[in-house]
Chains A and B, each alone.
Chain A
Amino acid sequence: MLETLSRDFRAVAPAADFCALRYVEESSEMLVVRQDVAEPPQLAVERGAMVTVIDGGGIGYAATSDLTPAGLREAAGRAKRLAAATAGRTVFDYRRAALPSPRGRYAPPVADDPARLTRRERIELIAGEARQCRIDERIVDWEASLWTTRTHQAYLTADGGEVEQSFHFLVPNISATAHADGLTQTRTHAGRWNGFCRQGGLEILDAFGLAGSGRAVAEGALELLAAPDCPTGTMDVLLMPDQMMLQIHESIGHPLELDRILGDERNFAGTSFVTLDMFGTYRYGSPLLDVTFDPTRPDQYASYGWDDDGLVAERQYLIRGGILERPLGGAISQARAGIAGVANARACAWNRAPIDRMANLNVEPGASTLDELVASIDLGVMMRTNVSWSIDDSRNKFQFGCEWGRMIRGGRLAEVVRNPNYRGISATFWRSLAGVGDRSTFEVLGTPFCGKGEPNQVIRCGHASPACRFTGVEVFGGAA
């Protein structure tokens, strides 16, 4: 396939300062069992290519689902025309980006290929667990799903660059909803929106804890139904990894995206409170805060060998000892801003152009056990599993909610509470980081659904984190 594509592309690549082709083939299967009824399997195979042309300082992207030589020629012509139309009218002379022409292959192994099971067996795998949700008549809805995806990409440049990358993604989920006396509570195993998402095969189900998860989420929903609302007040919060992933994503990841800082997203996703002069000196968090961009963990959801502009992917500290070091910006943004970044120019599909995305963004583990973190809190709430998220245009004033909370009083875990919410301001919140969990509290999670960009793109992000303690946070519960 690569040989044919390479030959066809090089035959149609127009004379230009730079020309590249990105080919993506993605096949997926979504299996859902709801209330013990298997829904029709949803299968998909997407194939398409995007041609990039930089010429005379202008830039053009053209995408096509027609992969015949004629289709590629037509796309190359459109990209060339757009480059000509934009030359001299762009935010930046794109020739100055000096995009690389890499060569290589990235294909991490899969320990337990889902294809070793038949589709019926894969359905039964989740159906069997979901049946365990039915423990009480107050459980009014329950559902399990298994989403597998295989992606094969090629990146070719007219001057000889040639990269192939293959990925296997697996995303399990299970949830139960309980209702009584006008109240509804839902408990999931890692978030309603597929927070447990990784690269690999069926071995991920062990890490997810599929066995026993059905009964656990049903009991969890009933527990919340009986729990009091989270109290209102200023107190500590102990955020577990399935909430930390959202906290990292929204109030570190997005504000550090260089294209936002450069203003590209101001019409849609927003700007950033971070400015270029902050890198190297700004205190983003307490000295306990270490944040890495890490595309090198094979099991994490957004690991890769090269980004979609051909930059080799490497682990980098973005924040070290609380000090802001570098942004999330790919080759084009780095050239525009004149600042070092990371390999994070990514497109969500063959029909969208690369922009700055966060990929894997992790808080590094600290030194405290979970018991030590709990013992350090006089009054606070442990919160698990994100359910609500909202943050301002500049990624500063946020309000987040979780499925499950548990009060901490006098250094001990106390009663479970429902609807735990908290709000704060990014620029000061991370400075209140007072405890970072050790490796025993560290979990590898993420999201398949990060939305950004014009035209819009939904992309995969990975977030790994230990449990973290923050002090003096505004906490509240649900409406009466």
Chain B
Amino acid sequence: MDLRAYFHDLADHLQGAARAGEVIASGFTAESSDFIRFNRSAVRQATSVRQVRWTLSLVRGARRVDAATTLTGAAAADRATLEAMLADLRGGIDQAPEDPYLLLPETPHDSTRESPGELPEVEAVIDAVVGAGRGLDLVGLYAGGPVLEGFADSRGQRNWQRVDNFNFEWCLYHDRDKAVKTSYAGSRWEPAAFEGRMRFAREQLELLGQPAVTLAPGRYRAYFAPAAMEEVLGLLAWGGFGLKSQRTKQSPLQRLADGAASLDPRVHLAENCADGLAAGFQRDGFVRPGRVELVQGGRLAGALVSPRSAREFGLPTNGANAEEVPESLDLAPGELPRDRALAALDRGIYLGNLWYLNFSDRSACRFTGMTRFASFWVEDGRIRAPLNVMRFDDTAYRLLGSELEALTQERDLLLQGGTYGSRSTGSTRSPGALVRDFTLVL
């Protein structure tokens, strides 16, 4: 099925159906995904999902109604479904009050992005993973296939993106909660690359065989690997960078937004769409700039502004999604070579991953969470023992401010493996971070 032609067919049909004084906007998503779930180096569940979704927005004057539906993927049948939905929206739009914050793009911007891949058949993935996991305790998820997104409106704007990719995330378990987490993602499955990742994971697994150390609550030097930093940045992204949350005083970075606090001058954060996988357009058809500066030199430099917030607060939109959450968050690199990170840490904790972060005081950007997977005790710049999981409670103003010693030169591009409803195209780019003083509490 040629879903690009299908998308244009339906978009053109709806454009032709628009009446005077109406704007009809469409959001399109589709995927054909294989999900192979492994446990104990065998298959637990194998699922194939083919889905097509269409969101129709009808705007008349200052009123708007949105309706989403699933479709078959066959143009003739789906034209009729969308016509019926449009008729329902027309029948009910007067029930919606006028919306003073309604904002639509003024100038059409078309775009097309195709990122084709060579994805493996599921049989080949099962062969490779079951084979590589023989004699090991492997648990993980392979998710692969094309992810398609589109926007169209009755003014003639068309935006299209297709990304073919896979993401295999897995753990090799030593015992109980001691594991090494690894991922292999791309648009073309290469057996040698997969085997290289497996080899690295097996080497780390050997380190977990040593007796684990239980630390007492207290303050420690710590190195956050990029995957651990992704968790910290992901928490800050939860309301931290949106204009609405900042203007209504609910951002966890409110003190930064109000100029009452700052981060380390080496902290530069941006929404970097140009180097991410997320679509370059958002749900209402606004095109995203390549880069939106959020924090520069440790101080607030901007915010993600959705069309709705733009109208409400009188600023231009920068193509943010309705939730004003970054999809391609980018933390600038520092000067510490990654291969010097353990030596620079000298004595402290190496955090490979973190888990389940949440705010213990949102206003103060104080948060808690757990160490997870491959986290180690380090002495004299060498890994000495795996760490039993510990709870921490600290603030962003310390970790990325007063206690930040260094950021690494090298960064990782970490794909968001999220598959809630559909496969995410979000990503985070982060260096590792060396922190002088990090608080463990339980």
Contact = CB atoms under 8 A, between A and B. Distances in A.
Interface of A: 37-48, 58-68, 71, 74-75, 78-79, 81-83, 85-86, 89-91, 118-120, 123, 140-141, 177, 179, 182-186, 262-264, 266-268, 270-271, 349, 351-353, 355, 388-394, 397, 399, 401, 419, 421, 423, 425, 451, 454-458, 474, 477-480
A394 B258 CA distance: 39
A119 B92 CA distance: 8
Interface in B363-399: 363-364, 366, 368-370, 372, 389, 391, 393, 395
13 contacts: A43-B65, A47-B70, A59-B46, A74-B50, A91-B39, A120-B95, A140-B248, A177-B248, A182-B255, A351-B49, A391-B356, A423-B391, A454-B419
Contacts of A186: 250
A44 B69 contact: yes
Contacts of A119: 92, 95-96
Closest 8 CB pairs of A and B: A478-B361, A455-B419, A479-B364, A454-B141, A179-B249, A65-B70, A141-B248, A119-B95
Contact of B47 (A45, A62, A425): A62
B40 interface: yes
Nearest to B140: A267
Contacts of A37: 99-101
A63 B47 contact: yes
A429 B26 CA distance: 51
Given A40-B99, A394-B177, A64 B43 contact: no
B356 A63 contact: no
Contacts of A480: 364
A211 to B, nearest CB: 22
A63 B170 contact: no
Nearest to B390: A397
The DSSP consensus for interface residues of chain A is: mixed
Contacts of B92: 119
A391, A394, A399, A454, most chain B CB atoms within 10 A: A454
Contacts of B177: 270-271, 392-394
A40 B65 contact: yes
A41 B57 CA distance: 10
Contact of B442 (A423, A451, A456): A423
Contacts of A351: 49, 51, 421
A266 B47 contact: no
Contacts of A355: 45
A86 B43 CA distance: 7
A182 B46 contact: no
Given A264-B39, A393-B372, A423-B391, A63 B48 contact: yes
A266 B44 contact: no
Interface centre among A45, A60, A119, A479 (most CB of B within 10 A): A479
B46 A82 contact: yes
Residue of B97, B170, B260 with most chain A CB atoms under a 10 A cut-off: B97
Choose among A41, A46, A391 the residue with the greatest number of B CB atoms under 10 Å from its CB: A41
A60 B69 contact: no
Contacts of B140: 267, 454
Interface string B227-250: 000000000000000000000111
B374 to A, nearest CB: 13
Given A40-B66, A89-B43, A75 B100 contact: no
B370 A397 contact: yes
A78 B48 contact: yes
Interface string B258-295: 10100000000000000000000000000000000000
A67 B50 CA distance: 11
Contacts of B123: 85
B282 to A, nearest CB: 15
Nearest to A30: B66
Contacts of A457: 420
B399 to A, nearest CB: 13
B71 interface: yes
A38 B71 contact: no
Interface of B: 33, 35, 37, 39-40, 42-53, 57, 63-74, 77, 85, 92, 95-97, 99-102, 122-123, 126, 130, 137, 139-141, 143, 169-171, 173, 176-177, 179, 181, 248-250, 254-255, 258, 260, 308, 355-364, 366, 368-370, 372, 389, 391, 393, 395, 418-421, 423, 441-442
In this complex, which of A44, A67, A399 has the most chain B Cβ atoms within 10 angstroms of its Cβ?
Answer: A399
Interface SS of B by simple majority: strand
A442 B92 CA distance: 40
A120 to B, nearest CB: 5
A456 B420 contact: yes
Contacts of A123: 95-97
Given A267-B171, A479-B366, A393 B355 contact: yes
A182 to B, nearest CB: 6
Nearest to A457: B420
Contacts of A85: 46, 122-123, 126
Given A141-B250, A388-B358, A399-B360, A267 B139 contact: yes
Nearest to A400: B358
B358 A65 contact: no
Nearest to B72: A66
B370 A392 contact: yes
A121 to B, nearest CB: 9
A59 B372 CA distance: 31
B100 A451 contact: no
Q: Which of A58, A64, A451, A456 gathers most chain B CB within 10 Å?
A: A456
A44 B29 CA distance: 14
Contacts of A86: 43, 46, 126
B369 A390 contact: yes
A353 B141 CA distance: 14
Given A91-B43, A394-B177, A478-B363, A64 B391 contact: no
A456 B37 CA distance: 11
Given A47-B70, A118-B95, A267-B170, A60 B46 contact: yes
Nearest to A44: B68
A63 B173 CA distance: 31
A423 B441 CA distance: 9
A374 to B, nearest CB: 26
Contacts of B364: 478-480
A70 B49 CA distance: 16
Which of B63, B64, B70: most chain A Cβ within 10 A?
A: B70
Contacts of B39: 91, 262-264, 266
A399 B141 contact: no
Contact of A390 (B72, B308, B358): B358
Given A75-B50, A140-B248, 5 more contacts: A47-B69, A47-B70, A62-B50, A86-B126, A397-B370
Contacts of B72: 65-68, 71
B419 A183 contact: no
Contacts of A141: 248-250
Nearest to A124: B97
A315 to B, nearest CB: 28
Contact of A397 (B37, B260, B442): B442
Nearest to A355: B45
B184 to A, nearest CB: 13
Contacts of A477: 361
Contacts of B99: 37-40
A401 B360 contact: yes
A266 B73 contact: no
Contacts of B395: 479
Contacts of B101: 37
A65 B441 CA distance: 48
